[in-house]
Structure 1
Amino acid sequence: MSAGGRTIVNEYSATKRRAVDDFWTTQAPCTHCLQLYDSDEALLDALEGFIATGIRQGDAIVVIATPSHRLELDRRLAYAGFDPAAAAERGQYLPLDAAELLARFTDNGVPDEARFRCVIDGLLLRARKHYPTVRAFGEMVGLLWADGHYASTARLEEMWSRVCHDNNLALFCAYPRAGFDAAPAFAAQIEAAHSQACPF
């Protein structure tokens, strides 16, 4: 009975992995995708698929995330047969700390667009040195929202949308679902800023 249970779980996991991979493979190069997640596992399942698909397609990958999520993502990628350290060494994988990067262009939770563009344009330039197509994941918006900077979060999403449009960038943003309805008007603005919703 327990062995059968494990088989069912394994089959479900394989099915879900294929669905996640199929979703990211069919996304347009210029996409601003939003995920509202209920657990870190749901976030990391989607993020692993987003990154793994990019590596397989020869994209450069920019990951702007919390330390715990970067660590778990690297563990998952290694388990799936990728080498995050080698990808970083060849310039294909750029893992960055979300809080540190956010501090470079915000004051008291308010983003400055000129400084933001300077920071992000520099990252994209690095990423495109050897890889013309770039995809990025960002948790900076999630950090702003968690700190109660709702208007600033909506503004940052609009700034990201302009970056996506100007650079033909695929961008994946994620927020914990818990607390996302704390400011409904700004949550609606954030949803409207995205071109796609992640179904996972």
Structure 2
Amino acid sequence: MTYAELRRNPAADAFWAGLAARDHCLQIYDSDRLFLNALEGFVAGGIRQGDSIVLIATPAHLSALAARLSRNGFDVDAAVERGQYIALDAAQTLARFMVDGWPDEAMFNAVVDELLGRARRHHHKVRAFGEMVALMWADGLCDAAVQLEHFWTRLCVQEEFSLFCAYPKAAFGDAADAGIHQVCAAHSKLYTM
């Protein structure tokens, strides 16, 4: 049995299969289990379609995802070797373009352009996941996180790749409704499964 045949969730599979270049998708999650289910579906959907996967996430989430993929028959090391799976630490990547608590657009574009170049060496279509905005929000850099979302949206359209972002609902605190509305407005699709 191949990875493409494992861990099928028809509703989630249909959602991720319908994700188009230029889509900027959002999940607000209540638990890591739900988040990791979505992230695994996003990654598996891309692999099934032959896309490159760029992951910018916390080390804990990268490790949990790799373990899930490996348990379900996917060879992460082989995907890394063939350039289909690029995983980066979110905090370290964020540090490459933040200036005084604000994302510098030119520096951000340079970081993402380099990643897209790497991802497209062997696989033209790219799916990216970014957790940097959730880290920023958790650090109280809410306006800066929304600005970064807008930078991502512009690049998704310009460079024609799909992007998935996720925030833990708990990060929004007492002003959850206003914060969630602001973040939702910066995305083109909402993942709710």
Q: TM-score, normalised by structure 1?
A: 0.89
Identity of matched residues, %? 55
Cα contact 2:172–2:179 (8 A) shared by 1: no
Moved over 6 A (4+): none
Q: Within 5 Å, give how 1:1-200 maps onto structure 2.
A: 17-180=9-172, 182=175, 185-200=178-193
Displacement after TM superposition at 1:39 (Å):
0.4
Partner Cα distance (1:34, 1:172) in 2: 6
Q: Could you say if the C-alpha distance between residues 15 and 66 of structure 1 is closer, same or farther in structure 2, counting changes exceeding 3 Å?
A: closer
Gaps of 5+ in 2: 1-5
Q: How many residues align?
A: 187
Farther off after superposition, 86-95 or 188-197? 188-197
Question: Which has the larger Rg?
Answer: 1
Displacement after TM superposition at 1:180 (Å):
2.0
Partner Cα distance (1:77, 1:167) in 2: 27
Partner Cα distance (2:134, 2:8) in 1: 25
Displacement after TM superposition at 1:22 (Å):
1.8
> What letter matches 1:34 in structure 2?
L
Partner Cα distance (1:101, 1:80) in 2: 28
> What letter matches 1:189 in structure 2?
Q
Partner Cα distance (1:16, 1:85) in 2: 22
- RMSD of aligned alpha carbons: 1.7
Displacement after TM superposition at 1:29 (Å):
2.3
Partner Cα distance (1:186, 1:161) in 2: 18
Q: After superposition, what is the alpha-carbon deviation per residue over 1:63-118, rounded to whole angstroms, capped at 9, x for unaligned? A: 00000000010011111211111100110000000000000000232100000000
